[in-house]
Amino acid sequence: MDFILYKKLKYYTKEILKYFNITILAFGLIIGIVLIKFKPMYKVSISGAELGYIQDKEALEEKVKMSILEEEDKNIDSIELQVNPEYELKFVDRTIETKEEQIVETAKQDVVVTYKYYDIAISNQAINSVNTIEEAEELVGEIKEENQGQELNLSIIEKYTQKADEVNTSNIEVAKTSIQEKVTQKIEEVKKQKAEEERINKMPQVNGIRLAYVPVSGTITSRYGVSSSIRSSSHTGLDIAAPTGTAIKAVASGTVTSAQKSGAYGNLVKISHGNGIETWYAHTSKMYVSAGQKVEAGKVIAAVGSTGNSTGPHLHLEIRVNGQHVNPQRYLYK
């Protein structure tokens, strides 16, 4: 009985193996026929739009990035696809060709490129730009060495942009020339500023108020305290002749208390400087300020004229201390 069972089992096993081999052979034959006519490829889509087929999905994004790098070849900090491609493995007719170049060009339209460059700045004002931090540091080092002892306030500012046309960098020699020109200009400005500060510090004070500027340059035609046939009393100010329209400056910072026609004074500007000090500017042809306006020392407030009781274009200047006029030449036009 066991022998009979064994023979049957052996017979069925052979039949099963024969069938299995036939099945594998048939399956392999089908696969072979399929591979002769078809090939595996990845269908690429972006935002649902089919772009074509490629062989290697892993390489697509790298090809997009490399294509951009080859075209622009500088200042690129990062490249990111805004929309990731979608891939679907399919068996397609062998006659279908890959469209990697077209797909790369289409994918590039959805790429965000970030550029990086370096501004060289003086007092935080950008003067020129270079491509790398090494160039920037070399440039700043050379300029500082060539201008030792000067307060340059040079700095390097790392900049980023996603607009290629904003990357206007120069080679190091061109950048150095333009920056050195600005440095020279800045040095001269600092010298002038220091000279102006020294000049102002030498100007007189009245009750602690610095009279920083003479209001107008010209010829003194009538001094304080003199009598004249055109006045009912002695002269309360100082007359400085100058052409009509000549700019008149505020002698010190303060607040305009009046700017209007005022009888014999003609067009009259009054400025209060604090501590009881006030200055008057009379006979002006034009007034550029108004009551309540704050002005800085040296600001142009009016123009020379001959309004009111006047025989020719000039500035009548008065300095008043606690309401009383004093001789302006005690402080100005000495």
Q: Residue 32's pLDDT is what?
A: 58
Q: Under 8 Å CB-to-CB from 105, ≥6 apart: which residues?
A: 67
Give CATH for domain 209-330.
2.70.70.10
Closest CA to 264 of 328, 329, 316: 316
CA distance 272 to 257: 6
pLDDT of residue 47: 78
What are the structural domain ranges in the chain? 33-109, 115-201, 209-330
Which pLDDT score, from 0 to 100, does residue 43 have? Answer: 83
Digit-coded pLDDT (tens) for 110-148: 788 888 999 999 988 999 999 999 999 999 999 998 888
User: In which residue are the tokens 């491509």 written?
Assistant: 131
pLDDT for 79: 80
Helix (H) or strand (E) segment spanning residue 11: helix 2-37
Give the pLDDT confidence score for residue 217 in this predicted structure: 95
Buried b (16+ CB within 10 A) or exposed e, 160-192: eeeeeeebebbebeebbeebbebbeebeeeeee
What confidence tens digit (pLDDT) does each residue in 28-77 have? 555 555 556 667 878 888 777 887 787 777 777 777 777 767 766 678 88
- Ranges of residues in the chain whose predicted pLDDT is under 50: 1
Residue type, 121: A
Give the 3-state DSSP-derived string for 255-291, with helices as H, strands as E and coil as C: EEEEEEECHHHCEEEEEEEECCEEEEEEEECEECCCC
Residues 45, 85 contacting (CB under 8 angstroms): yes
pLDDT score of 1: 46
Torsional class of 143: left (φ above 0), alpha (ψ -120 to 50), beta (otherwise): alpha
What's the pLDDT at 214?
A: 97
To the nearest 10 degrees (0 to 180), the angle between helices 60-72 and 100-108 is: 70
